[in-house]
Structure 1
Amino acid sequence: MEEQRKLHIVMVPWLAFGHMIPYLELAKCLAQMGHRVSFLSTPRNIDRLPSIPHDLRPRINLVKLTPPPVVGLPEDAQSTVDVPLDHINYLLELLDGLEGPLSSFLDGDSSPDWMIYDVFFYWAPRVAARYGIPTVFFGPFSAMTLSIMGPPSLMMDSQPTTPEQLLVPPPWVPFPTNVTYRYYEAVRIANGRSRRASGSGLTARHRTGITFQGCHVVAIRSCLEFEPEWIPLLGELYEKPVFPVGLLSPSIPEIDDMGHDTWVNQEWLDTQKHESTVYVAFGSELRFSKEQMHELAIGLELSELPFFWAYRGDPSLLPPGFEERTKARGIVRLGWAPQARLLAHTSIGCFLVHGGWGSSIEGLAFGKPLVMLPFIGDQGLITCVMKEKKVGVEVARNDRDGSFTREAVTESLKLMMGDEGGPIRSNAKELMKIFADKERHDQYIKDFADYLIEHRRRDGVPTPSA
C-alpha cells in the first residue's frame, strides 16, 4: 500500500540557474519522501548542477535533452548565465527545441504521474496532454510577482501596455500595497511585452499566459506566513489550486561538490566584530556597466565598513586600486563562494544584494537585513515588498534612467549598519523564525505531495480539477 503512494514526477525547469536550483531543491525534498524524479534539462546545464546527496541519487534521474542548434547561439550557451539579457530570444528558441526530445523521453517512459514545468514552457501542457499526464506549473517566484502579472487571460491579450499603467498597483489587487514598478523599470517592462520571440512568434508574456492557463495546479516558492494576502489572490486570478511549497531555504553544506571543505576566509571573518561586516553578492547573471561597477565599489569603499564581496563579474570593471585601498578591511572573493556559510557567519551584519527572490530568501533565512539594488525582472517588486515588511532598505536611484551614485550606496549601508537601522535588523531576525523553520516548510512540501498522490494520473487520464 505504501509503495502505491510513491510517484514518478518529471521536472523541466527554465534555462536559468535561479530556476534550476530551486527545482533541484524541490526534487530533493520529494525524493526524501520516497518519490522518483526525472529532472530534465540540456546537457551543459545538467553537468553544472550541484551534486545530489548519495542517498537520494537512486531516486533522482538527471536526464540530458539535446535540442537542435540555434543560429546565433554558441553551442555551449544553454542558460541565461551564458548570454547577455538581450539574447533571451535565442534561449527561448533553444527551449522550444526541447519539445521533441521531451516527447522522445516520454515515449520511452510512460509511467510519469505528473509533469512539473516552468515559465515559458507554453508547449508543455499540450505535450503532457498527449501522454495523459497532469501538470503543475512551479515558478520559483513569490505569489506577489505572479499576482502583479495578472490572470493568464490578460497575459494573452495583445493590447499594448504603457509605462504609466505599471506605476500604480494593478486594479485586480484588492488590498493596499506600495508594490509597483519605478518609471525606468516600467519603460523596460512595457517595451519588452511587445517584443516577439523568433521561432514561436509569441511575446514572452503571451507564451507565459499559455503556460499558466494550461496547467492543472500552480506551485510557488512561498508560504502563507509571509504572503497571507497574495497567495489567496493568486488562486482567485488563476482559478485553480495554488500550493505554496515553502521557501526551500538553504542549508549549510559541510563539503563542496568535489568533497572539499567549502569554507573560505573563515579566519578573516572570525576577526571581524559581531554583525559588523557587509556581505555583497549580485550573482553571475547581472552584467554591470563600468560606470555602475565604479559607483557600487566606491560607494562600498566610502562607507568605511568591513565587507566580504563574492564577486563573479569581470575583475577589470573594478575601479583601479580598489582592492589595494580596501584590503585592510575588505575581501573581494573572485568566483564562486559558499553563500549560505557566509551569510550564517556571526560577523555578517547585512546583505547588499540585487533583491531577487532567491537571494532575499537566503539572506532572511539567516536573519540578515537587506540593502537592495535591483536591476532586472521582479527584483524591483521584491524590493518593494521587503521595504513594506521593514526588513530592508533600497539604494536611491534616478527614477527616470535608473542610475545611482556612490553616495547613495554609502548612505544606504551606513543607515542599515547604524542606529537608525536597528529596527530593520531586529525585524530581519524576527522574520528568520519563519524563513528558517524547516519543520514548517517540510509540512508545505508534504501537503503538496499528498495532493499529487491523491490526484495522480489514473489509467492515463489526469484527475485534478480546478
Structure 2
Amino acid sequence: MEKQEIQSKSHVLAIPVPAQGHINPMMQFSKRLASKGLRVTIVIFSSKVLKHTRRLGSVEVVTVDFVSYEGKLSSDDYSKQFRAAVTRKLPELVAELNNSSGHPINCLLYDSHLPWLLDTARQLGLTGASLFTQSCAVDNVYYNVHEMQLKIPPEKLLVTLSRLPALSPLEITDLPSFVQGMDSESESESEYSLLLNHVVGQFLNFREADWIFINTFNTLEEKAVNWLDSQRSVKPIGPMIPSFYLDRQLEDDKEYGPSLFKPNLDGCMEWLDSKETGSVVYVSFGSMAALGEEQMAEIAWGLRRSDCNFLWVVRVSEKKKLPSNFVEESSEKGLMVTWSPQLEVLAHKSVGCFMTHCGWNSTLEALSLGVPMVAMPQGLSLKKR
C-alpha cells in the first residue's frame, strides 16, 4: 500500500501522561508513525508548554491547559481531576480534528498509565493502542502482581524469588518499590494502596487493547519480551530516542520536542567543549526524583573529593538541599544547571560517565550512546532496571 493511501485512511490521536518522561517516548513514537505515512496528532494536557496548535515535523501538536504533572500522579485528587478533564475534552477534540483535518481519527494511542482511555476510545468508535514507557522486566513484575501470581507484599522470609518467568532470580529488594510492601515511615496505607493500584492498573484491560507497544528492544530484553508476548501479542518499538542518535532515518530529528522544562544552555555545551575527552561526570536524576538533603550532601562531597570535572543537573526545587556555598566553592571543577539538553550532553566527547536515577529514558539514552552509567535508582520501579 502506498504511503499516501495509508495516510488518507489513518489518523492517530496520541495522549501521553503530562510528565516529561512520558511525553518524550510518545512524541518519538508519533514521529516514527508519521514517517510511515500515518497522520498523527499528539495532545498534551499541561500548562507548561505552548498553548496553541503547532507542528513538529509531520506531527501536529495540540496543547490543552491543565496543571502539570510534577510527581503528583500519586495524588488521588490530581488523578481524578486529570481523568475528568481528559474525558470531558477528548470528544470535543476528536470532533474538532475530524472537521479541520479532513482525516477522521480512527485510533487512540494512549500511555499505559491511562488505561481508562481505552473505554473512551471504544465510546468514540476508535481502536485503542497502549504504549508502555517502562522496561519490559518491570512490566512483567507488575503483570504478575495483577494476575495474582506474586503476592503483595512478598513473604519477608523468602530470600530469593525464582518464580517470575523470564527474569533472573531476584532478591526482594530488587523488586519495584511498590511490590516490596509499604514503607510505614514514609507512606500512609491509603497512599501506598493508591500507588500500587496505579502501576498495576496498567494491566486492567491489557488483553482488550488492539495493540500493545513497549519502549524497549529485543536485544536488550529478549526473554522478558517473549514471555509477555506469550500472554498476548506485544510489540517492542524502542529505543524511542531522536533518530539523529540512532539510525538517522528521520530528517531533522535531533530533539524530542515539547518540553516542560527550559534547558539551561548558557555556557553548558561551551563548558563541555573546554574539557578533555572522557573527563566529565554527568549527574542527573531526571524530572521527578527528589533526593533527601543527606543524599544531596553525600553526592556533592563525593563529586568534590573525586577531583573530577562534573556537570550536575539540579532542578530549581532541589537547589535548597545543596550544602552551603557548594556551588561557589566547586566552580573550578563543576558546573551546576537547572536542566540540560541531555542527549547532546551524553553524546559529547568530554562526558566519561553518567550518574543516573535509572529512569528508563535516561537508561536507553545512555545505552544507545555507549555512555557508562553509575546507577543510583530512584522512584517507582527503578531498582529492577
TM-score tier by shorter-chain length is: 0.7 to 0.9
One-letter identity of the residue aligned with 1:332: M
Q: Deviation per CA, 1:247-294, whole angstroms, max 9, x where unpaired? A: 022447499989x99573344323322212101111231122211211
One-letter identity of the residue aligned with 1:318: L
SS at match of 2:147: helix
Aligned-partner Cα distance in 2 for 1:48–1:162: 46
Aligned-partner Cα distance in 2 for 1:46–1:100: 21
Unaligned runs of 5+ in 1: 67-75, 383-466
Q: 1:130 to 1:51 in 2, by over 3 A?
A: closer
8 Å Cα contact 1:167/1:183 also seen in 2: no
- Residue 178 of structure 1 and its aligned partner are, at CA, apart by 4.7
SS at match of 1:379: coil
Q: 1:190 to 1:26 in 2, by over 3 A?
A: same
- Residue 61 of structure 1 and its aligned partner are, at CA, apart by 4.1
Q: 1:268 to 1:152 in 2, by over 3 A?
A: closer
Q: Deviation per CA, 1:129-161, whole angstroms, max 9, x where unpaired? A: 223322111011221111122258516x99743
Instruction: Pick from 140, 153, 166 the counterpart of residue 161 of structure 1.
Output: 153
Q: 1:105 to 1:293 in 2, by over 3 A?
A: same
Instruction: Pick from 290, 294, 312 the counterpart of residue 291 of structure 1.
Output: 294
SS at match of 1:300: helix
The residue that corresponds to 2:182 in the other structure is 191
Q: 1:301 to 1:222 in 2, by over 3 A?
A: same
Instruction: Pick from 111, 126, 130 the counterpart of residue 123 of structure 2.
Output: 130
Does residue 366 in structure 1 map to residue 369 in structure 2?
yes
Instruction: Pick from 320, 328, 335 the counterpart of residue 332 of structure 2.
Output: 328
More strand per residue: 1 or 2?
2
Q: Deviation per CA, 1:309-352, whole angstroms, max 9, x where unpaired? A: 1221432211112223322211112x222111111111110001
Q: 1:184 to 1:281 in 2, by over 3 A?
A: same
8 Å Cα contact 1:27/1:60 also seen in 2: no
TM-score after normalising by structure 2: 0.80
Instruction: Pick from 212, 234, 248 the counterpart of residue 242 of structure 1.
Output: 234
Instruction: Pick from 96, 108, 116 the counterpart of residue 83 of structure 2.
Output: 96
8 Å Cα contact 1:120/1:207 also seen in 2: yes
Which has the higher mean CA deviation after the structures are superposed, 286-295 or 366-375? 286-295
8 Å Cα contact 1:222/1:247 also seen in 2: yes
SS at match of 2:206: helix
The residue that corresponds to 1:350 in the other structure is 353
Aligned-partner Cα distance in 1 for 2:288–2:70: 7
Aligned-partner Cα distance in 1 for 2:51–2:160: 40
The residue that corresponds to 1:204 in the other structure is 198
Q: 1:328 to 1:201 in 2, by over 3 A?
A: closer
The residue that corresponds to 1:223 in the other structure is 217
Q: 1:262 to 1:300 in 2, by over 3 A?
A: closer
Instruction: Pick from 143, 149, 157 the counterpart of residue 136 of structure 2.
Output: 143
Aligned-partner Cα distance in 1 for 2:157–2:69: 31
- Residue 373 of structure 1 and its aligned partner are, at CA, apart by 0.6
8 Å Cα contact 1:275/1:350 also seen in 2: yes
Unaligned runs of 5+ in 2: 99-103, 246-253
Aligned-partner Cα distance in 2 for 1:201–1:215: 23
Q: 1:376 to 1:165 in 2, by over 3 A?
A: farther
The residue that corresponds to 2:311 in the other structure is 308
The residue that corresponds to 2:248 in the other structure is none
More helix per residue: 1 or 2?
1
Instruction: Pick from 336, 341, 359 the counterpart of residue 338 of structure 1.
Output: 341
TM-score after normalising by structure 1: 0.67
Which has the higher mean CA deviation after the structures are superposed, 260-269 or 5-14? 260-269
Aligned-partner Cα distance in 2 for 1:40–1:158: 36
SS at match of 1:150: helix
8 Å Cα contact 1:219/1:245 also seen in 2: yes
One-letter identity of the residue aligned with 1:207: G
The residue that corresponds to 2:5 in the other structure is 4
8 Å Cα contact 2:166/2:224 also seen in 1: no
Q: Aligned runs of 1:67-86 on 2, under 5 Å? A: 77-81=67-71, 83=72
8 Å Cα contact 1:152/1:209 also seen in 2: no
Q: 1:116 to 1:292 in 2, by over 3 A?
A: same
- Residue 52 of structure 1 and its aligned partner are, at CA, apart by 5.0
- Residue 206 of structure 1 and its aligned partner are, at CA, apart by 5.2
Percentage of matched positions with identical amino acids: 23
SS at match of 2:156: helix
Q: Aligned runs of 1:373-452 on 2, under 5 Å? A: 373-382=376-385
8 Å Cα contact 2:144/2:164 also seen in 1: no
One-letter identity of the residue aligned with 1:79: Y
SS at match of 2:370: coil
Instruction: Pick from 264, 268, 271 the counterpart of residue 271 of structure 2.
Output: 268
One-letter identity of the residue aligned with 2:6: R
- Residue 230 of structure 1 and its aligned partner are, at CA, apart by 1.1
One-letter identity of the residue aligned with 2:333: R
Q: Deviation per CA, 1:212-259, whole angstroms, max 9, x where unpaired? A: 2431221011111111111101112xx32211112022447499989x
Aligned-partner Cα distance in 2 for 1:141–1:255: 17
8 Å Cα contact 2:293/2:321 also seen in 1: yes
- Residue 109 of structure 1 and its aligned partner are, at CA, apart by 5.5
8 Å Cα contact 1:195/1:203 also seen in 2: no
SS at match of 1:316: helix
Q: Deviation per CA, 1:185-235, whole angstroms, max 9, x where unpaired? A: 6477523999668xx999324532214243122101111111111110111
One-letter identity of the residue aligned with 1:139: F
Q: How many residues align?
A: 359
8 Å Cα contact 2:174/2:383 also seen in 1: no
8 Å Cα contact 1:254/1:262 also seen in 2: no
8 Å Cα contact 2:176/2:382 also seen in 1: no
One-letter identity of the residue aligned with 1:164: K
One-letter identity of the residue aligned with 2:319: P
Q: 1:297 to 1:195 in 2, by over 3 A?
A: same
One-letter identity of the residue aligned with 2:70: T
One-letter identity of the residue aligned with 1:21: N
Q: 1:161 to 1:170 in 2, by over 3 A?
A: farther
